[in-house]
Structure 1
Amino acid sequence: MLYKKTDDTVLKLLEKISCGSISIELHDGRIFEFCAPQKGPSAKLRINTPDVLWNMAVGGDAAFARDYKAGKWDCEDIAVLVDFAFRNDKALGGLVGGSQIKRSLFWLAAQLKPNTRQRARSNIHAHYDLGNKFYSLWLDPTMTYSSAIFSGASDTLTQGQLAKYDRILDRLDGSPKDLLEIGCGWGGFAERAISDRDHRVTGLTISPAQAEYARTRLQPLGAQADIRLEDFRAPRRRFGSIVSIEMFEAVGERYWKTYFDSLKIQLDIGGKAVIQTIAIDDNHFESYRKGGDAIRDLIFPGGLLPSEKRLRDEVARAGFRICDIFRFGSNYAETLDRWLATFDRQRSEVEALGFDNGFIRLWRFYLASCSGAFRSGRTDVMQIEIQHAE
């Protein structure tokens, strides 16, 4: 009876959608279709068990993701479904975020578990140390796990990733060649910076698997590459340039000040820093930071996306000025779509590594739902170039 009441409530909410359309097949075979006056995403959802909508009403999209992992619902295109949900969030009445109790508990848990150095290492290990082989199955040959920049549909993913690296290096043109990369991943940017622009790169990571891979990869480049298994908070000397590509999202709000203060200390006077980061829409930041979501619950524990306004505030407080902002969210949707397509093609290889069906479904949800968030405009990705204000 409780599940049926929840189903009825959700179906009533869907009558108020303002954009796109959705077809829902309930577990008992009944099909409901809703179409808004304004064109938009056209989603299809098949619910396999009676508790799915109840779980989502209570636990938000994190519960929805867990139910997808368990096979309790299916969808032809999760990215389209998420795009639809975000474009109609007013009509859905906060359904994606779950109950107020759930949001409050998530916020309290986050306050009790700050992203200290030890916890940061644990969080990074949970995500990045799944194995270099796992990531190599669906990333492009540069092993780049961040948004590409495409000049056209014919660009390969590798071309897009190198174009992203080149844009950052172009912004650093004229700066000293001594470069610090905070969050160096598997060494793709460092390799490009050294081999193509003759930089000397000190790369930081707290993932042992990434550090080992990057050191082996960059060994032919000799002393120009120095990969360190260190946290960004460790004291260091000054550098002519600093680059940080999609690492800031993992820092945690409590340490945003520490992050920018460390940049202030380590960037030479006259030097430049370029930060590539995902950001959430300003209008939704407060509700997002106080609640939980599938990505923070299940994929990236300890992280938090900034809003552009909060980024600007942190930059100014630390004594920097913004020289340039480049936004390219649609490119991230395309990047994620390509990752997912390759992930699906490599499913048998992923299974051969020992990952089960639930893991594969969860990662499909992660990649596709992030694509939907970028399509809807709820999230964006940007490169921010900063210098000392004085």
Structure 2
Amino acid sequence: MTSTADRTVDRPLDRPLDDLDRWADITPVRRGPRARLSAAIAERIFRRVTDRLGLVVSTDPGSGADLVLHRPEEFFARLGSDGLIGFGESYLTGAWDADDLGATLTVLCEQITDLVPPWMQRLRAAYVARPPRDERNTEHNTRRNIARHYDLSNDLFAAFLDPTLSYSSAMFRTDSITAQEGGVPVTRLDRPVFGGDLAEAQARKIDAILDAAGVKAGSRVLEIGTGWGELAVRAARRGATIRSVTLSSEQQALARQRVAEAARFEGWSEDRVRIDLLDYRAVEGSYDAVVSVEMIEAVGYEYLPSYFETIDRVLAPGGRVAIQAITMSHERMLATRRTWTWIHKYIFPGGFLPSVEAIEDVTRSHTRLRLVGRTAFGSHYAETLRQWDETFVAARERVLALGFDETFLRMWHFYLEYSRAGFASHYLDVQQLTFTRGIR
């Protein structure tokens, strides 16, 4: 909505110069007639939305308001020029705050499809940002995309994850209901108890996906996306042999160390686990089970066929596949799949969240894999993220000591709470999907 000619750098006076100089990607506040018009429209829409949702907005930090606008002019300028990216960037610069960020974002996320008027939604293609070409998940680009997040620092992730170093949704102990949906049994887990044991819930999640894939003594297992090695260790304890592939050199190094330590301590051969720095598309061999936990989100919409074709190609006769995936509704996936968001810009370049329908369409059209069961537990991700964020905020000094700055602290806090809001509002879900090979 604003031309480059309208741009001027406007550094907030209460943010340290050396801090913001590290953040050159933060879009400068735009000025000029078009920018002022965009800001005015954004303010009008924002005021109407927050009034309708019952969110209290104030410029007084001591008011107890849901949102406190420290610099309203900057906030509305960013919101008007850059939409939700501007909304997130204005939090990074300190233009606004919220005492309970997660709760405020959840209220907004619950109404996300109705935040802007219908006439603006119809013009969406004309004003939303498009993903940069160098963030497409080609074999050339994917390593860099992964490194920008997972190679930040193993110590950073250790500062807020539980001792298993599992960076995906936990599965807490709850009741469940199973019903047939589209001829496939679907189990939905109830909301977890607040404050449940996270490490225990992560172990339960890993065991559930290994069970779904039929991993047992003697199984040959391929893991796509290593994490920091916990799944590989737990599969090895079952007597399986595992090949795990990752594109994060930081994860590979620590995962290998953790595997070696577990093998020595527990008395099994570390030869059971092989961890390679390798793109999933380059995997060869034959495997009785293929498992992948929240790696599909890094594949990209146009590469879903390649991902599932690779799995189909390496799966041995009679083998099983179990994938844990963050999903969204098919309608929202279609509406947003070519949108570049704050999460893409700052957290997961090249990321894409599929729908179950898209996954089924791709597997039926391109592979012999057939969905035979799924377990949905989105509310468990909301609790997982809440605990991660609580631990991260408490680890502030530890994170600063690693060389990260105040803006990074705000960015990561916003990321964790923004994500939690997606699951708490049911805009997002997380599911374990099980496949066997059928007849194409």
TM-score (norm 2): 0.80
The aligned counterpart of 1:192 is 234
Determine whether 1:180 maps to 2:180.
no
The CA distance in 1 between the partners of 2:396 and 2:49, in whole Å, is: 36
CA distance 1:136–1:13, change in 2 (3 Å): closer
The aligned counterpart of 1:369 is 418
Determine whether 1:165 maps to 2:206.
yes
Q: Which amino acid aligns with 1:290?
A: R
The aligned counterpart of 2:110 is 87
The aligned counterpart of 2:318 is 270
CA distance 1:91–1:314, change in 2 (3 Å): closer
The aligned counterpart of 2:6 is none
The CA distance in 2 between the partners of 1:262 and 1:91, in whole Å, is: 39
The aligned counterpart of 1:22 is 55
CA distance 1:7–1:261, change in 2 (3 Å): same
CA contact (8 A) 2:40 2:80 kept: no
- Displacement after TM superposition at 1:10 (Å): 2.4
The CA distance in 2 between the partners of 1:300 and 1:10, in whole Å, is: 27
- Displacement after TM superposition at 1:292 (Å): 2.3
> Residue 305 of structure 1 is aligned with which of 341, 350, 353?
353
- Displacement after TM superposition at 1:99 (Å): 6.3
Determine whether 1:382 maps to 2:431.
yes
Q: Which amino acid aligns with 2:304?
A: W
| SS in structure 1 at match of 2:243 | strand
Determine whether 1:243 maps to 2:291.
yes
- Displacement after TM superposition at 1:76 (Å): 1.4
CA contact (8 A) 1:123 1:301 kept: yes
The CA distance in 2 between the partners of 1:310 and 1:122, in whole Å, is: 26
Determine whether 1:296 maps to 2:334.
no
**Which sits farther off after the overlay, 298-307 or 50-59?**
50-59
- Displacement after TM superposition at 1:13 (Å): 4.0
> Residue 260 of structure 1 is aligned with which of 308, 331, 342?
308
TM-score (norm 1): 0.89
CA distance 1:174–1:140, change in 2 (3 Å): closer
Identity of aligned residues (%): 31
The aligned counterpart of 1:78 is 101
| SS in structure 1 at match of 2:46 | helix
**Superposition RMSD in Å:** 2.4
The aligned counterpart of 2:75 is 52
The aligned counterpart of 2:370 is 321
Q: Per-residue displacement from partner, 1:183-220 (whole Å, max 9, x unpaired)?
A: 0111010111112x211111100111111111111123
- Spell out the pairing of 1:212-231 with structure 2 (5 A cutoff): 212-219=253-260, 220=263, 221-231=269-279
Aligned length: 372
The CA distance in 2 between the partners of 1:141 and 1:370, in whole Å, is: 22
CA contact (8 A) 2:70 2:95 kept: yes
> Residue 331 of structure 1 is aligned with which of 351, 359, 380?
380
CA contact (8 A) 1:279 1:381 kept: yes
- Displacement after TM superposition at 1:161 (Å): 0.2
- Displacement after TM superposition at 1:9 (Å): 3.8
Which sections of structure 2, spanning at least 5 residues, go unmatched?
Answer: 1-35, 174-191, 264-268
CA contact (8 A) 1:256 1:314 kept: yes
Determine whether 1:7 maps to 2:43.
yes
- Displacement after TM superposition at 1:174 (Å): 6.6
Q: Which amino acid aligns with 2:375?
A: F
Q: Per-residue displacement from partner, 1:207-238 (whole Å, max 9, x unpaired)?
A: 11111111111123421011111110104111
- Spell out the pairing of 1:79-158 with structure 2 (5 A cutoff): 79-93=102-116, 100-103=125-128, 105-107=129-131, 109-110=132-133, 113-151=135-173, 152-153=192-193, 155-158=196-199
Q: Per-residue displacement from partner, 1:261-291 (whole Å, max 9, x unpaired)?
A: 0001000111000010101122211221132
- Displacement after TM superposition at 1:90 (Å): 4.5
CA contact (8 A) 1:60 1:99 kept: no
Which sections of structure 1, spanning at least 5 residues, go unmatched?
Answer: 34-42
Q: Which amino acid aligns with 2:99?
A: E
The aligned counterpart of 1:40 is none
CA distance 1:314–1:4, change in 2 (3 Å): closer
Q: Which amino acid aligns with 2:199?
A: T
